[in-house]
Amino acid sequence: MNIEVTDVVIVAVIVGIVEMAKGIGLPVRLAPVLSVILGIAAGVVYFPGDIKTSIMFGIISGLTSCGLYSAGKSAVKKD
C-alpha cells in the first residue's frame, strides 16, 4: 500500500474532528471509537467501489489518527 498525501490529510482531518468532538463534550474513552467510525466513513468515500478495501483503509486511518495524537501528546508532555 502506497502512502499518499491524501491518506495523510484524511488522518489529520480525523484527528481534528475528534478533538473538536472532545471539546464539545465527547467522553475521552469514546474518542477511539469515533476515530474508527470516521475512518470507515472516509474509506467508503475514498474507495467507493471495493467495500473490503474501504473498510480496511478506514480502520487503519482511524487507528492511525488515535495513535498519532497519543504519540504527539506524549512527546510534548514533560513530567
Q: What is the pLDDT of residues 9-50, one digit of tens each?
A: 888 999 999 999 999 999 988 998 999 999 999 989 888 888
Q: List Cβ<8 Å contacts ≥24 apart for 15-22.
A: 15/65, 15/68, 15/69, 18/65, 18/69, 19/69
Q: What is the pLDDT of residue 50?
A: 83
The whole-model pTM stands at 0.78
- The mean pLDDT value for 66-77 works out to 69
- The mean pLDDT value for 51-67 works out to 87
Local confidence band at 3 (pLDDT 50, 70, 90 cut-offs): low
Q: List Cβ<8 Å contacts ≥24 apart for 21-24.
A: none
Domain ranges of the chain: 5-68
